[in-house]
Structure 1
Amino acid sequence: MRMIRRCRMAVCGLTLMTAACGSSEHHDAEEDVTRLTRAPTPASEFTPVQLEATIDSLVAEMNKNPIEPMHMAVLLKKLSGFFAPVATGANRAMSELGVTGNVLAPAGKDDDEGQVIQAEQIREMVAIGAQGIGVAPFGEAQQEAIEEAVAKGVHVVTLDTDVPTDKRALYVGTLNEDAGATAANTLLAHLPPPPGTVLIHGHSLEGWPDGIQRTQAAQKVFEDAGYVVVMSQAFFDSDDQVDLEWLKFAFELANPPVVGIAGLFNISYRCAMLAELVGKPELPIVAFDFDPKTVEYMRQGRIKATHTQRQYYEGYLTPYIIYGIQLIGLDATKQILSPLMLDDPTRVNTGVDVVPGDKVDEYYAFLNKIGANQ
């Protein structure tokens, strides 16, 4: 009890306490057969058509069964910044499903403290009766708590990041191999024919498999197309100048000369800074994520396109998957989700949005429509 009480004091969260469907005390016979209904998604050139169609198929299958009450929780690393659209999507989905649930994040000051609190959150949600939990884990520190939850019959879905366990039911989020290949193919359309070198602002250091997978996938696309690839390690915790020195060093060593640059993370704007530094502002560049500096370079025509993760859909899809597992079973849910799974039947790919440099305002409008601006 002491752990649970301390955990409640240590977390912050957005809480939905919506009425569960099916109570004979509050619903007449006609209401008892009410089916799930999704709120209409605003039409846009950036609307993920296949993803939306798959969710509709899941809802249609679930609607063949009587709606059941359920309690669930979605546990994120934060509720702000990158994770704000995730929280928006999760809250909206839980409201549409009519479940009782919470969207929570640790109030810890750093990741080390957050890991401890998040593990406590998982255990607390199980203790108060959650039948399903979506969790964006910090890392392996949550594995034991996840396995304990699964052992007690709780459906666990990871999102954004995964854990090395076969206990969780599914993972929902960007598949980094696919994302890296997508970014590489975007840049290929702007490159002159080989020979030439493509400079990747990527990641190769042990300890972050997602970054390695994204980088290696992009590298393979360029090499298969006949280009030489040089990779410069992205330094997230440094200021721009330190990273630029390493980028410039890699640029100057390239043989044959660099003909294009691919930035694979949220600090991709540094690739445009490099092009200025070496006097090659015309070099084609593609980026990742939607940092304000990246957007500014896109408006200037210096970055051809960026690739953004669909955080809103990570959050929105997770409660629907958890509810699907509860209502129609894991195998049936996976069968419906199969169009979103590539080579791994346990990972649901929400994909990335490819945003051309001249479509910044249109993309902002789409995010505003779905409430997904960070």
Structure 2
Amino acid sequence: MTRSGRWGTVLGLTLTTAACGSGETPGASEHVTPIVRVPAPENEFTPVELEATVDRLITEINASSSRTMQMAVLLRNATGFWAPVVTAANRAMGELDATGSVVGPVAPSEDGTESEDLQNLQIQQAVADGAEGIGLAPISDVQTAAVDEAVASGVPVVTLDADVPASKRSIYVGTLDRSAGATAANTLLTMLPRSRGTVIIHGSVNTAGSSGLERTQGAQDVFEAAGYEVLVRQSTWAAQGEIEDVAWMKTQVETADPPVVGLIGLFNISYRCAMAAEAAGKPELPVVTFDFDPKTVDYLREGRIKATHIQRQYYQGYLVPYILYAIKTIGLDATRKILAPQLVDESRVDTGLDVVPGDKIDAYNDFLGSIDANQ
């Protein structure tokens, strides 16, 4: 068996199919050629620190006793925001010659079974099928027990995008929500008038969704420390969510005292802030957002959104298989040492944010295209 870092050789890997079809027994020790990867092309948006981390992992893995490994990466979805995660996880598994699958999406079944329950079953099935490591984008803290059961069976779990911090998962890889909210708030802060006013946050006050709440609180802390009033709109993903969100924010723009001086959205639907400002007849209000939804991109091109913040989900998907493989081959402690530049504590890897101003849209699209990470 040979390893290949050529991206073209792994692009054919698809959901729920093996990343390596050798037919050999998963987990069996064998001689394999060293991992050779093609690094991401250099670009102003290339996260050089994350690229260096992958290279360090490869160096240590290549110095160890190589082995095959079966793993599963379980995602909440496979399209839109998640498409780059699928591409990256399959690419990394191909470079590692790992067997296993990238599975998504998780959706309620016709019999009413909840998504959380279905994901718990996926975790259990992955263990039963012989996975030696699981990458998990958890739906909620409901996954804690299932994660602990997998770990108790000897299967390390690495979470991405969202976390189950009370579980025994080994490492979390992704955005640190409170600091991400603060970063976005500081982007908007530079655009606000010195005279104080009100800032609308399209975020979350839902204590059941801790990551969204933390992101919102991180942004709110920045604005309040700078002397601004803050109004928070609970983002709504329901069928009428866009209408309800825009109507609420429009009313605040029209009536708030002190007047609204800017809006910030913290999720992939945050382009609704620009829609609300337009509906209120105040399209000139500065708006910053999160993620790279096509509607967000359109508003960026029009100058209606000033900047957006991308969560580097491609690198989350790319790092997870390498971390799982490293844990299995060189151990968790050694893996943590390699990850140290991005670790904010013993178990959380901060993949950071890309801050993309409106005049950098084409450059950022070129970067995404260079790593096949377009949404």
Task: Report the TM-score, using the length of structure 2 for normalisation.
Answer: 0.88
CA contact (8 A) 2:202 2:233 kept: yes
Match of 1:167 in 2: 168
Deviation (angstroms), 1:92: 0.5
Match of 1:313 in 2: 315
Which secondary structure state, in structure 2, belongs to the residue aligned with residue 137 of structure 1?
coil
Match of 1:17 in 2: 20
| Separation of aligned partners in 1, 2:274 and 2:162 | 28
Match of 2:9 in 1: none
CA contact (8 A) 1:85 1:371 kept: yes
Which secondary structure state, in structure 2, belongs to the residue aligned with residue 172 of structure 1?
strand
Q: Which amino acid aligns with 1:347?
A: R
Match of 1:341 in 2: 343
| Separation of aligned partners in 1, 2:230 and 2:142 | 35
CA contact (8 A) 1:21 1:67 kept: no
Give every structure 1 segment of 4 or more consecutive aligned residues whose post-TM-superposition deviation is greater than 3 Å: 18-23, 106-114
| Separation of aligned partners in 1, 2:255 and 2:347 | 41
Deviation (angstroms), 1:232: 2.4
Question: How many residues matched?
Answer: 357
| Separation of aligned partners in 2, 1:99 and 1:108 | 27
Deviation (angstroms), 1:93: 0.5
Q: Provide closer, same or farther for how the CA distance between residues 20 and 39 of structure 1 changes in structure 2, counting only shifts above 3 A.
A: farther
Deviation (angstroms), 1:236: 2.3
Q: Which runs of 5+ in 2 are unaligned?
A: 1-14
Which secondary structure state, in structure 2, belongs to the residue aligned with residue 220 of structure 1?
helix
CA contact (8 A) 1:187 1:284 kept: yes
| Separation of aligned partners in 2, 1:301 and 1:337 | 38
Match of 1:196 in 2: 197
CA contact (8 A) 2:75 2:138 kept: yes
Q: Provide closer, same or farther for how the CA distance between residues 270 and 17 of structure 1 changes in structure 2, counting only shifts above 3 A.
A: same
Q: How does 1:1-374 map to 2 (within 5 A)?
A: 13-19=16-22, 32=31, 34-106=33-105, 108-109=107-108, 112-237=113-238, 238-342=240-344, 344-374=345-375
Deviation (angstroms), 1:186: 0.9
| Separation of aligned partners in 2, 1:247 and 1:261 | 9
Deviation (angstroms), 1:109: 4.4
| Separation of aligned partners in 2, 1:120 and 1:230 | 40
Q: Provide closer, same or farther for how the CA distance between residues 125 and 26 of structure 1 changes in structure 2, counting only shifts above 3 A.
A: closer
| Separation of aligned partners in 1, 2:291 and 2:106 | 25
Which secondary structure state, in structure 2, belongs to the residue aligned with residue 17 of structure 1?
coil
Q: Provide closer, same or farther for how the CA distance between residues 14 and 292 of structure 1 changes in structure 2, counting only shifts above 3 A.
A: same
Deviation (angstroms), 1:79: 2.1
Q: Which amino acid aligns with 2:94?
A: S
Q: Which amino acid aligns with 1:43?
A: E
1:207-227 Cα shifts (integer Å, max 9, x gaps): 111111000000111122232
Say which is worse superposed, 153-162 or 238-247, in terms of deviation.
238-247
Q: Which amino acid aligns with 1:186?
A: T
Q: Name the Cα RMSD after superposition.
A: 2.4
CA contact (8 A) 2:71 2:99 kept: yes
| Separation of aligned partners in 1, 2:23 and 2:92 | 14
Q: Which amino acid aligns with 2:103?
A: L
Task: Report the TM-score, using the length of structure 1 for normalisation.
Answer: 0.88
| Separation of aligned partners in 2, 1:337 and 1:256 | 46
| Separation of aligned partners in 1, 2:310 and 2:198 | 25
Q: Which amino acid aligns with 1:126?
A: V
| Separation of aligned partners in 2, 1:107 and 1:209 | 20
Deviation (angstroms), 1:127: 1.9
| Separation of aligned partners in 1, 2:200 and 2:262 | 6
Deviation (angstroms), 1:26: 12
Which secondary structure state, in structure 2, belongs to the residue aligned with residue 16 of structure 1?
coil
| Separation of aligned partners in 1, 2:272 and 2:122 | 37
Match of 1:4 in 2: none
Q: Which amino acid aligns with 2:354?
A: D
Which secondary structure state, in structure 1, belongs to the residue aligned with residue 16 of structure 2?
strand
Say which is worse superposed, 295-304 or 115-124, in terms of deviation.
115-124
Say which is worse superposed, 248-257 or 53-62, in terms of deviation.
248-257
Which secondary structure state, in structure 2, belongs to the residue aligned with residue 15 of structure 1?
coil
1:164-208 Cα shifts (integer Å, max 9, x gaps): 433110111111112111111111121222422222112112311
Deviation (angstroms), 1:18: 4.5
Deviation (angstroms), 1:22: 12
CA contact (8 A) 1:78 1:106 kept: yes
Which secondary structure state, in structure 2, belongs to the residue aligned with residue 260 of structure 1?
strand
| Separation of aligned partners in 2, 1:20 and 1:152 | 24
Which secondary structure state, in structure 1, belongs to the residue aligned with residue 230 of structure 2?
strand
